[in-house]
Amino acid sequence: MTAADVAIVGGGFTGAVFAIQLARMAERPLDIAIVEPRSRPGRGVAYDTADPDHRLNAPLAIHFVYPDAPDHLPAWYAERGEPARDPGALCPDGNLYIRRSDFGRYVEEQLRAHFAGNASGSTIRHIRSRAVAALRTPGGYRLALDDGQTLDARLAVLAAGYERPQAPPPFDGAVSGHPCFLADPWDTARIGEIPSDARVLVLGMSQTASDAIAVLLRNGHSGRIEAVARHGLRPRRKPASVVGPPPDIVERLIRPVSPFTAAHGRQASVLGILRTLRADVRRAEAGGGNWFETFGDLRDSVWEVWPALPPAEKRRFLRHVRVWYDVHRFQLPPQVEAYIAEAETAGQLSFEAAFCVAAESDGDALSITLRPRGGGECRRKMFDAVVNCTGPGMRPDRSGNPLVRDLVARGYAAPHQVGIGFGVDGACRAIDADGRPDRHLRIVGPLTYGAFADQQGAPFIALRLCKIVPDIVASLRR
């Protein structure tokens, strides 16, 4: 058995930034343990990739580890000569859209620098293992690790990121094990093994789907690629008129009143927000502007707008509006857009609003029955590969993470009332099954979507962590 003051479960971006900021703000030396099975903490699923077509979907300028030093990453990138090594990162809008692997390397370097020394004299160590269960103790939590060891901590911090997509119903039976079905869209090695003339079906049209398509095209894929999604919605392209550096994201996210609320007051319904946004866009376009900058005012106000909505309105958003919001919220890197536009123009790539109603094995291929959205006859088609890009799992009660399942089963943490992520209070204390906050268990990052809805991008995560760390430092003082 080992012990630590703080055990951070998850060593991706969220866990790394939490450890860095805790070490910077602590009032005394702390023993901080990061439990992460990967050999290189700081990268996680999102940035642990070597594929050159996996790029940040927003400009370099809005990404950071240190909100008080937003120029640190651009300076690091320039000092290492990365612009010359990756000239394709510079896009016509004047911004750099760097490779996710480079951003992961930056985060890892910052974390390792704090391993070596930090402002509080804290010890940060990496335990290369996986936490599989938790038990409350009088002084905190005891974590069971998959190597048989245990770790006692006064504070346990769940910093797990997105889980891999679950197979949709037509593929969750025997077909899920078929060699033609690629359940993990981030497994670029398997995508690279798809024969160049294969007939490929991509389930989904999100950024993840676009990444998979870009990898296929870069590898010289010549076969037909079809992408289907229930609503048929694709990420909206940023208007060509939007050029130059983005607004100061830190200032927009820390101001006392958010941009949208300052302009329109507090909103109590999703319909009211939607009508207000549409009116704003119409006014902007009538004056020669565009939807992108207007939408940005709402995007950068979610930290204030979402918590103020009643639970019923949040559920209404998730049922009816979220898919529309996301296609405006998450643009593609311009480099990936170019791949897709060229293949679509050539007739090699198509997108359709449809969903799979059946999937059957047919020798070395899969027979898929598709139903168009809005009616029409079902049709059966053969595919040599099906890539599952249906989106990450975000329901703790259906998680594939053993620790997440254990926390739910023991009632230490409860799913948020809207059905996505865990319930937490404003300081990210886990809300247990009896509705009580637990100061010994914090949940941060994407698993707090239900509470905050803005924990999907690096700047939003980093600023939320900086906001709660002072409260954590105070709790460790007791």
Kindly state the average pLDDT of the residues 242-262. Answer: 94
Report pLDDT digits (tens) over 322-354: 999 999 999 999 999 999 999 999 999 999 999
- Residues 6 or more apart whose Cβ sits within 8 Å of residue 177: none
Kindly report, residue by residue over 264-317, the tens digit of the pLDDT.
999 999 999 999 999 999 999 999 999 999 999 999 999 999 999 999 999 999
* Whole-number pLDDT of residue 102: 97
Mean pLDDT across the stretch 394-421?
A: 93
Q: What is the mean pLDDT of the chain?
A: 94
Q: Is 174's pLDDT higher than 80? A: no
Per DSSP, 185 falls in state: T
What is the pLDDT at residue 397? 87
pLDDT tens for residues 210-246? 999 999 999 999 999 999 999 999 999 999 999 999 9
Q: Indicate if the pLDDT at residue 56 is higher than 90.
A: yes
Sign, Cα dihedral of 8, 10, 16, 17: negative
CATH class for domain 176-235+348-388?
alpha beta
Residues in a beta bridge with 34: 8, 126
| CA 419/CA 447 separation, integer angstroms | 11
pLDDT over threshold 80, residue 478 = no
Q: Looking at residue 86, what is its pLDDT?
A: 97
Confidence at 176, pLDDT banded by 50, 70, 90: confident
> Of 393, 447, 401, 419, nearest to 165 (Cα)?
393
* Mean pLDDT value of segment 377-403: 91
Q: Answer for the pair 236, 331: CB distance below 8 angstroms, yes or no.
A: yes
How many Å separate Cα 363 from the centre of its chain?
36
User: Is it the case that residue 71 has pLDDT exceeding 80?
Assistant: yes
34 close to 18: Cβ distance less than 8 angstroms: no
More confident residue, 174 or 380: 380
Note whether 83 and 66 are within 8 A (CB).
Answer: no
Q: Give the pLDDT of residue 400.
A: 87
Structural domain boundaries of the chain?
Answer: 2-163+393-477, 176-235+348-388, 249-329
DSSP 3-state of 245: coil
Residue 210 near residue 336, CB atoms below 8 Å = yes
* pLDDT at residue 177 tops 90: no
Gyration radius from the chain CA atoms:
23
pTM of the complete model:
0.95
Q: What is the pLDDT of residues 182-213, one digit of tens each?
A: 998 888 889 999 999 999 999 999 999 999 99
Residues 216, 53 contacting (CB under 8 angstroms):
no
Reduced to 3 states, what is the DSSP secondary structure of residue 416? coil
Do 99 and 87 contact (CB within 8 A), yes or no? Answer: no
Confidence of residue 456 (pLDDT cuts 50, 70, 90): confident
| pLDDT higher than 90, residue 37 | yes
Q: Are 202 and 354 in contact (CB under 8 A)?
A: no
3.50.50.60, 1.10.10.1100, 3.30.360.10, 1.10.1740.110: CATH of 2-163+393-477: 3.50.50.60
What's the rounded Cα separation, in Å, for the pair 90 and 59?
A: 10
The number of beta carbons lying within 10 Å of the beta carbon of residue 12 is 27
Q: How far apart are CA 459 and CA 157, in angstroms?
A: 19
Whether the domain at 2-163+393-477 and the domain at 176-235+348-388 fall into the same CATH topology = yes
pLDDT for the residue 164: 78
